[in-house]
Each structure stands twice: as structure tokens, then as C-alpha cells.
Structure 1
């Protein structure tokens, strides 16, 4: 009881709470010093300047509990930041993190929630007791002594001067230093403003793109029956595909398919679905991503060229460009939205039923886009239990100790994708038409692959495993006979360095014989004009940056080199 009374007395002391609250506010800044690859002078500034500002705000009022609550948005950012660091190991809260909150469906979020429990517990223990103490201070109208306030305000002046000097030193000694990018929480506030701006632009998309036209036309004979399918995979990394040299049998079907070309050195320009998929479905790339608000997608190009179009997705609405582009089609269906059951989790093979129904309509010119759920975590739920080939595939909790089980489950999902694509190709071959299929994945995935113990995707700084993706083209017997040059060009280009984000759209147009001023054959992998371009990545501020300028680590460049992939 005596110990309890001492503790109670300690926390009732407003001076003690003042320093406690100040320490809690600066925790994320201190943690970032250990996680971010910044020069020492930048780390000093990242602690000293925010600390001095918090110090000044805390000394502004005699009731430190009320001031602490006023600073609640920064406590929220701190909690979010700690969870982010637990999940990805580095970087501040990105614009894409905020956008993911509104574009990720609830079922995906719930799949990850169990794996964030340690971070959530950490955040609760750090912030909730402090907020309770602050509430008690406010309710009981406790105040700091006047002498304490005067003394602390004098110290604040010194702290602010030191903070401003540290900022000047950071700019002077580190030419790459930017307050909006490197100083927490100023960078988070800037990213929030960008997130609101992009959300507003997205909501206005219908009006900003309404007059857009591809001026597209078909150049092949109208009487020739043609069927083209563009398949966008999910979270599938090339490192686990047997046709790219993986030592497990993850591609028993595709390895036997004739007319298939697998491109080996393909990187995506984004590790987030809400950016990567729109780039695959439109002319935009990392170099001009912000033009997406004025343009439409590839489905509209094929519609203008006289094709009957369809879009089938095994993902839920995300209220962004994937939805907008998909709904341009004559027929569209987000199959998970066909029921109110939030737990409905159909396999990708359900999409084949939609494809069969569309093919049965017998249109002479057909273009179909499929958006699969592929290998998205939780991997074990991406394939039927009877299709589990690599065992054990339980449990699949996001912990290093379950890495082997996670890999087994992930490889099973890749093997299931292999079967899905093989069955789709068989359906197309049976049409007896000029047919082609183009496949890639939006991004890859980390699965505790090295000593960094990274997991999942969409991290602010990508890894090799998140950006090296499969890229396949299949052409039917009839198509190869009629357009042998396209097959030959594809074979000639399959070892070249390719950006899926930049090449997917243009390759699909060439495969379908659709001409438009927006088509660039130097980006089409089936063109003799294809030209390798410098590697870039779409960063959080929608800037195209070289791969060696986005924070990737030595381990990632070693893997790229091992795979024969140029990163410049």
C-alpha cells in the first residue's frame, strides 16, 4: 500500500507529468534515429527541433493535461508511426499509408490485424495511461506552479535556439536534407496535406477525365475473330516462380504450355496496389503519374476500337482508379461485391466462370481484363485446402518462426495461380480465334527473406522481393501463325530490362492491334522498336526516382545483381 501511495503521489505531481508527457511526445523521433539512414546531423535535428517545439507548447499552459490532449493528433501520428515501424522496419508515415486507409477494404485489414497485436499493445501501454493521467489532470483542474512555468519558459528559449541551429546545420551539411521529407512530424503533416489533395483529385476524376479520348482504332480485319485477356495478378513475386529458376515446382502447368514467353528482368514501379494497377491499366507511368486524373484506361481504348469489353475482379471496390477503369467496360463485375457476406472469399477460379460467360456471347472482337487476388496475405486463404502441395502450410502467422510455413503457403498460392492461368489459356485456345493473354503482378512481397525480417508489401521503401514481378505473354496457335513477328520480337526481348508499369499498357495495345496516339511501341515488349529505359520508382510524392535514390538497401541491390537485373 505504501508503494501504491508513492506511485499515486508521483503521478499526481504536475511537474512530473509535464516531463513525462514531453518524453512520450518525442519517443517516435528517438526511434526514427535508429531506423532511418540519415546523417548524424539530421538525426540530431530530428530530435532537437521537434523537442523544442513540444517543449514550448507544453509550457504555454498551466494545465499540462489539457495541453497534452491538444497535442492528441501528434500522439495519433506517433502511434501510427510505431505500428508502421514494427511492420516495415523503417520510414515515416507515407502519403500512400494514409491513402491505403481509404482504399484497403475491411477484410484485408482484418487479415493483418492479428499480426499487429504486439505493436498495438506497445502503443496502448505507451499512450493510453498517459491520456488517462492527462484527463484526470484536466478534470481535477490541477495546475503547474507559476515558478515552474517561468523557469521552463526560459529553458524553452534555449531549446528553440538549439533546435533552429540544428536545422541550419542539417541543411548546410546534408545537401539532400528536406524539412518536408526528413523532419518528423513536419513530414507527416505534409504527407497528410498531399493525401487530402489526392483524395479530392480522385473524387473529381469523373469531371476531369470526361472529355478524354484515345482516338483509338483497330487495324486488323473486322471479320477476324479476336480474343484478348489482360490478367493483373496480386502480390506475386518472380522469385518464387519455377519458370524463373525457383527450385520448387510452382509452375507445373505453364512450364508445359506452348506459345508462352516469360520475361525475366521485369520490375514494377510501385509496390502499392492503388498505384501499380492503374499504371498497368493506363498510359501513365512513374514519369507522369499525376496525369492519371485526366486520362481513362485501356478498356476505353479497346471500346473505341470496336471491341466488346469486360472487367472481372476478385477484389472489392477501393473507390479509386481500379474501380473507375474497370467500370469503363461494357460488362463489369467485382465478384466479392455480389454478396453482403463480408467473409465471402472466392478463389480466382470463380473469375473463369465469368470469362466463360463472356466468351459465350460470341462477339467477334473481345477484350477482357481480370484482376485476381493471387497471393495476397493471408496466403492460406488463396487456394483450396485440397490444392495444398507444399506442407505444412499452417500456421501462417506473421512471425519469423513460421517462415517455412509461410513460404509453403505462399508457394501453394503461386502454384494455384499457375493452374488458374493454365486453365484460362486452355479456354482461349478452344475459341479457335486469334487469342493472346498478357499477365503480370502489381507487385511482390517480403516473407522474412533475409536478416532484416521484412514482411508484406507497400512499405515506404521497397525491397527487391516487392518489385521483381513475373511478366508473361501467351499467344494462340492461330495468333502465332498470323503475327509471327510479334512472337519473335517477344522472344528477342524476354531477357531485356523491362518496367511492367510502363510496358503493360503499350504491349496490350499492340497485341490487340489497337492504334492510338497514346501507344508507344518503344515500350511494347512485342515490338522490334522496344528500347530499354533507365530504371525508376514512383516514390511517395509521385516523383520518378532512380532505384539507388529511394533508400533501398545493399541486400536488395545484391539480389538484383544475382538475378541479372540492371537497376540503373
Structure 2
């Protein structure tokens, strides 16, 4: 009993009542706001426990220090605590899923233009109200701060606080609550981000040539122009080419007899970095002998071009930028010099014309347009605003209809962009092909009341991508491929399919993973956060 009396005296509950209330205010504010947007479920209660434990860790850490320094730490940590609760609440409100390390990793790779579009796309009265409430809490604390003051009744009090911090974090990790903690996830993702940066340096992924073990050209190609178009956020389920009710791809529909349209291709991730890291490198940068498709084509003697309308974060920061820099010619039309203006994808057409006119005998040209990336209404000019009435959305409200129509219009313009590339390519006499796929798909009010893409809330449309190949007559006469458009394929295996197209092989080349090989074998397609697409998501 004497010990408990000491504990109560030490806690000084009467004097610390206000600090307890003010620190718990963000916790319960987050809970009620999340409940309003997300509904009541077990995740919300876990968040309350995790946030309460985080508050306890912050306070104990601040109390390790004495007097004025302790108050300074309490003050700083309280504002950090308010921000983390605000961020988690906004994330839950938008995505109806808990934040993850991969989400924060994506933020680190996001440029200002994308961040601005994201904010414009998802901004709504609920988010404004949420931000306003948390700002009020922060301002109130600034006006009337509450500092914990404990009475000294134990020896080695600093050791007690250190023990409380360590024990609480251990219990949170042991009980799997750290998976919901913004600060822990931030640390984890930042660490992973810089590890990836170092890995890319070690692999020299931005260098034109690296040692590709066992590289061999199966046959010599004297003259060729090969084109790869990497779409952005385009699901095949919104293309009339794949049976969609709105005529969103009139040109592709027209040339359908000339193309090989693959009906069952999925991406490995619902975000660009993860998807393209898997698709454009041999092993997703997971092994010391890894290389990119650009380096493979350079090794095969092609002059490589990367023409992009994607804005890089910085010259040496983005994974995709680094991959692109291995090209002989790297041009991006969407730069910081453009300010907040995002150019339409047609700005790439003059650059493409220059590339196909280049005197090099063998050319490989990658086009990386913005495609149907959010904000959808910014992806096309007014002349392509064809779909304006009741949309095909499965959710009947104004926002769903307006976004669905904008997305369909964006695909219509993307079809026009592809038309311009294809028509210029048809004039070339040497062997040529045009291969198109999207990095990932997009959910646009199809199976859930949401527009966007996120691994943490996987839907079929986020992974089901268009994949088609056009080959001119010269290519068809000179190259033999196995064409079976019903094969269930995985974008993660793209390097192996490309190797068959350009007639090369190397150590690690696997014919069972190539769409164009007789040896192709069907395998489980593990997507996103370890989801077996064929068993858990495929419709």
C-alpha cells in the first residue's frame, strides 16, 4: 500500500489532470473523425491504443529531462503528436486503409506537381474540417500549454522514464501495434528509401552499360525501330478495346485486327515506383547482377531514347529518372521551369518524330506520358470532353460521375496520343513494333466508392492493365513469336518477354516467363501486399 501511495504521489494526478486531458484530446479527436469517415471497426480501436501508447512514450521521453528542457520537449513532441494524428486521420479518410511504410516511401518519391494534383484531387470539406480541428487543438495548446509535473519520491527517476519508453515500444512491437504508428513507419520507409538509393548507386542503374552476365544475341538485327509506350494509371476495364461500353479507344478499336491484345495481364503493384522497378529491371533491384531494359538494349547495340512527360523529383532522386538516365537520349518535357502547368502528352510527339528520324540503324524509343494519371481532367484538352452525362460508375453520386467521365475522357485523349505515335511508325519500312502497357491500373468507382490506386486497398482495376503489341509486316516476316493473347501474364516478367522481342538472352533469362515463348508457364501472380491475384482478386 505504501508503494501505491508513492506512485499516486509521484503521478501528482490533481496537478496533471489538465496535461492528461490535453494529450488525449488528439487521440479521441482522431478516433471520432476516423469513425465518421471509416465506420466503426477493430482498426480504429487499435489506433486509439497505439496513439495512447505513443503519447505515453512522448511524455516519458520528455520527463527524462529536467525543468525547462523537459517543458521544451513536451511542447515540441505535442505538436508532432498532433501532426501524426492529423496525417493518419486524413489518410484514413481518403483511402479507407491504414497508412503503411510503402505509402510514405511513395511520398518521398513524389514531386511537387504530383503532390499539388493529389491535394486538388482529394480535397473536400471533410478534410478541410479535419485539418481545421487539429489546428485549433495546436493553437489552444500554444495559448494554454499543459506540462506534466511529477513529485520526486523515487530514486533514479530518469531510469524509470527510460524503462517506460523502452518497455512500451517493446510491447507495441510485440503486439503488432507499431504497424499503425506514423513515426515508426516514417523511420522504416526513410531507411528503406536511402537503402534503395545506395543500392541504385552500387548497381549503377543510371549508367548506359553494365556487365550483363551471359549476354548473347540470338540473331543479329541490322536495322530496326522499336517503340515502348508506358501508360500511367490506365486500367484496361475502361477501354472499349477491352469491351468497355463507352467508346474510349476509337483508334485502337479500328486497328484491333492489326494488334495482339493480351486480355489477362496484371501489374505487381498499384503505384509507379514498385510496378516499374519490377517491370523494367531483371530482379527488381534485388540482386547484385541486376540491370534495366535500357542497359539491355544498349548492350544489344540499340540507340536508346527515353521521352517523358513525367516530372522528375530531381535529377538524381527518382528511381524512374535514374533508369531513364541510362538512355543515350533522355528528354523530359515536364520540368520545374513549367511552374504549375502540366503539359499535355502531345508535347512528346515532336520529340518522337526527331527520334525516329535519327540516323542510328537500330533505335529503341520509350515514351512515358502522363496518360490517365490524376487529376484526370488535366490530362486532356477541352476538345476531348466527350463524356459528360450520367457515367457508367457503379456509385450514383455527382463526384463519382464527374470523375468517371473525366477518366473516360482522359483515356479518349490517350488513344489519340497512341494514334499519333502509331501512324508515324507505320511509315517506317524496317522492322518495327509498338508495345504498350500501363504501369498499373486505377480504381474509378468500379468495385469501391473511391478513385485512385493504393496497394493497401487492392481492387482488380488497380492491377488489371492493357497490354498490346503492334508489329509491322517486316517484323512479322523476320521474327517468329509465339502469340497467345489469352495467357495470364505478369508485368513483373516483362524483361523476359522483351528479350524474345529483341532476340537476346543472358544469365537469368527464363523462357517460361516470356509471353512470346513456347515454354511459357502459368504461375501464381503475387501482387501488392502479398495478395494472390488469381485466387483472391481475379473476377
What interval of TM-score do these two structures reach, taking the shorter chain for normalisation?
A: 0.7 to 0.9
The corresponding residue for 1:274 is 273
Aligned partners of 1:302 and 1:514 also within 8 Å: no
Alignment partners' CA distance in 2, 1:112 and 1:196: 21
Residue 504 of structure 2 corresponds to residue 529 of structure 1:
no
CA distance in 2, matches of 1:128, 1:379: 31
Q: CA deviation at 1:446?
A: 2.0
Give the CA deviation at 1:259: 3.0
Q: State which of 96, 103, 116 in structure 1 corresponds to 2:102.
A: 96
Structure 1, 296-305 or 122-131: larger mean CA deviation: 122-131
Aligned partner of 2:8 in structure 1 is none
Match of 1:124 in 2: 131
How much has 1:413 moved relative to structure 2? 1.4
* Number of residue equivalences: 497
Provide, for residues 396-426 of structure 1, a one-character-per-residue CA deviation record: whole Å limited to 9, x for no partner: xx99423222222211211222222232222
Where does residue 330 of structure 1 map in the other structure? Answer: 328
Does the 8 A contact of 2:488 with 2:522 survive in 1? yes
Q: Any idea what the Cα deviations from partners look like across 1:35-93, whole Å, max 9, x if unmatched?
A: 899995x876654465356357558869989635424333222111111111111222x
Unpaired segments ≥5 residues, structure 1: 1-12, 172-176, 562-568
| Cα separation, 1, equivalents of 2:53 and 2:219 | 69
Residue 111 of structure 1 contacts residue 377 of structure 1 at CA under 8 Å; is this kept in 2? yes
Q: For the residues of structure 2 that align with 1:46 and 1:81, how far apart are their CA atoms?
A: 9
Q: 2:488 corresponds to which residue?
A: 497
Counterpart among 497, 501, 510 of residue 520 in structure 1: 510
Q: Is the 2:307–2:368 contact (alpha carbons within 8 Å) kept by the matching residues of 1?
A: yes
Q: 2:20 aligns with which of 15, 18, 36?
A: 18
Within 5 Å, which residues of 2 pair with 1:94-243? 94-114=100-120, 115-138=122-145, 178-181=176-179, 184-185=180-181, 188-205=182-199, 207-210=201-204, 212-215=210-213, 216-223=215-222, 225-243=223-241
Query: Which digits, 9 at most, give the CA deviation of each residue in 1:150-200, with x for residues without a partner?
Result: 9xx9xx99xx9xx98xx79x98xxxxx73443xx32xx3332222222222
CA gap 1:135/1:231 in 2 versus in 1, 3 angstroms? same
1:508-559 C-alpha deviation (Å, 9 max, x unpaired): 22111122223222111111111111020143xxxx553499xx8xxxx4xx
Shift of 1:470: 0.7
Q: For residue 433 of structure 2, give the secondary structure of its aligned residue in structure 1.
A: strand
Matched residue SS, 2:358:
coil
Q: Deviations over 1:126-168 (max 9, x none)?
A: 3222222322334xxx767879x99xx9xx99xx9xx98xx79
When normalised by structure 2's length, the TM-score is: 0.81
With structure 1 as the length reference, what TM-score do the two structures score?
Answer: 0.77
RMSD: 3.7
Q: Deviation of residue 123 (structure 1)?
A: 3.3
Corresponding residue of 1:6? none
1:307–1:366 CA contact under 8 A, matched in 2 = yes
Residues 251 and 415, structure 1, Cα contact 8 Å, conserved in 2: yes
Task: Answer yes or no: is the 8 Å Cα contact 1:65–1:134 preserved in 2.
Answer: no
User: 1:566 aligns to what?
Assistant: none
Q: Work out whether 1:369 is the aligned partner of 2:366.
A: yes
Asked if 2 retains the 8 angstrom alpha-carbon contact of 1:400 and 1:448, the reply is no
CA contact (8 A) 1:260 1:475 kept: yes
1:391 is paired with a residue whose SS is: coil
How many angstroms apart in 2 are the aligned matches of 1:457 and 1:109? Answer: 15
